[in-house]
Chain A
Amino acid sequence: MIGGELLNLRSTSTARVLLVASMVMAAISLVANLATFETAQLAERATVQTAMHASTVATITFSFVAGLVLSTSDYRFGRIDQLLLSTQSPSRILATKSAVGFGLGVVYGVLGSVVAVAVSTLYYRVNDAEIDLTSATVIRPLVGVTVAAGLFVVAGLGLGSLIRNQPFALGAGLVLVLVVQPPLLLGAPTVGRWFPGAAGLALTLAPDSAMLGQVAGGLVLLGWTAVAVLAGVLRLQRTGA
């Protein structure tokens, strides 16, 4: 089944368009963030951490959207019928899609990291400042975003399989991540940090003391991702295509 899913991914422009958009947004976010600092502050650890975090938000948001669009497209165009006619195991279908989706997310994360490194190198050179690209302050968020992007694509696939209606899934997913969770994280951080968006930000080492640690954030996001995929499997089992 993986061969069919990979071919589907290669055959539709959605994943590529969203990848380019995520790389552009990562670059813009990074530059916009760095531009708020004085040149003298650029070498500070906190500045590098904030800038890296800014680039990762774009990558994980677009990864989530990619997962939502890819799974809801199966229902929009009826491709789910063809998948079920080949195997009537919803868990096998979602497991295959999750494996391919995680790989896609890793590509998003790696290319987003390449953009972050390239743009920050250029920005620091233009401003006669120095950045140590081998430091943990740079490496850890970029490793984190690579894993987080993979998990967010899979979470999007699960949520998309649960909701099915493409506009509604996109609206609900983005409202949850961008509208509901941020104020919750600010107003009630002890609760908000357990939500998937905050867990994803923790995995990318967001500079916020209210967040979970990087590993804990990754585990919580993994848990939410598993819940989303399981919900998609159950919906497919209960209601069919």
Chain B
Amino acid sequence: MTAIEVRNLTKRFGDFVAVDDVSFDVPWGAVTGFVGANGSGKTTTMRTMLGLAPPTSGYAHFGGQPYDALEAPRTLIGSVLDRIGAHPSHSARRHLMMIARGAGLPEARVDDALEEVGLLDVADLALRKYSMGMTQRCALAAALLGDPSILVLDEPANGLDPAGIRWLRTKTRGWADEGRAVFVSSHQLAELAAVIDHLVVVHQGRLVHQGPAAELARRGEDLESVVFDLLADLDTSAEPRRRVRS
């Protein structure tokens, strides 16, 4: 069984098809990169997978079950989304405590998660005083709160400084090596190239490639160049994004 199974996932907003019949698998014990240009549908795909936006059709299963059927979803899936989801006057500790209480997780996990992302010393500072990188680390702490086996991370490197990006790469690799499934999106493939085992590429809401990253890299070029070439070819040859009559 794969960690995440996405089948024929489609999400329309009116006549705009944001995610168009996308199917892919995310294996356990590996880092799966989710790549595409800005506006290609990565965030919408992830939000739809996580049940934050109801799909028009299709499904995403985590460990064989849809998100809404999970008894304690945060113990299986941790996610970093496009926004942290906290009031700026709250501290990181307070934000995580709220999530822990709301999800029925042990409160002792709050400090563990803050320590893992290196925020324990500034845990009582209001989030509005955090840098963008610190805010991203707080979002990661929230994702790790339930000690989940699957991590869904939407652009987790946004706002991180070079040292932070390096730290994230090490962490991401480490989580996968522990047996977790890590599904991580980025529009900067260079950030991912060093750690990913599998790759899912989307373009204009459609899946254009999925498979082991090594398969693409075997063409003799680095992964970033190969994917750029792939997307450039699609820009000139593919049909424009689908619109439907609603």
Contacts and interface: CB of A to CB of B under 8 A. Distances in A.
A86 B103 contact: yes
B245 interface: no
Contact of A81 (B54, B85, B102): B85
B142 A3 contact: no
B102 A78 contact: no
User: By DSSP majority rule, is chain A's interface helix, strand, loop, or mixed?
Assistant: helix
Interface stretch (B90-98, B111-119, B200-208): B90-98
A11 to B, nearest CB: 5
A11 B98 contact: yes
Contact of A86 (B47, B53, B73, B90): B73
Contact of B84 (A78, A87, A88): A78
Contacts of B89: 11-13
B102 A3 contact: yes
Interface string A76-99: 011111111111110000000000
A4 B87 contact: no
A65 to B, nearest CB: 17
Interface string A3-17: 111011001110000
A81 B51 contact: no
B231 interface: no
Contact of A240 (B54, B83, B84): B54
B223 interface: no
Given A8-B98, A82-B102, A86-B99, A77 B51 contact: no
Contact of A238 (B54, B86, B94, B102): B54
B74 interface: yes
Nearest to A241: B52
Contacts of B52: 81, 84-85, 240-241
B151 to A, nearest CB: 13
A7 B51 contact: no
A137 interface: no
B67 interface: yes
B221 interface: no
A12 B90 CA distance: 8
B86 A84 contact: no
B interface bracket (residues with beta carbon within 8 Å of A): 20 to 34
Nearest to A88: B68
A73 interface: yes
A209 interface: no
A34 to B, nearest CB: 38
Nearest to B127: A77
A1 interface: yes
Given A84-B51, A85-B50, A77 B102 contact: no
A134 interface: no
Contacts of B97: 7
Contacts of B84: 78
A135 interface: no
Given A11-B94, A84-B51, A85-B73, A3 B101 contact: yes
Of listed B73, B81, B101, B142, residue having the most chain A CB within 10 A: B101
Contacts of B101: 1, 3-4, 7
Interface in B20-76: 47, 50-54, 67-68, 73-74
B34 to A, nearest CB: 18
Contacts of A1: 101-102
12 contacts: A4-B103, A7-B98, A8-B98, A11-B90, A77-B85, A82-B102, A82-B142, A85-B52, A85-B79, A85-B103, A87-B103, A241-B52
Interface of A: 1, 3-5, 7-8, 11-13, 73, 77-89, 237-241
Given A3-B101, A87-B103, A241-B53, 20 more contacts: A4-B98, A4-B101, A4-B103, A7-B94, A7-B98, A7-B101, A12-B89, A73-B87, A77-B88, A78-B81, A78-B86, A82-B86, A82-B99, A82-B142, A86-B74, A88-B73, A238-B54, A239-B53, A240-B51, A240-B53
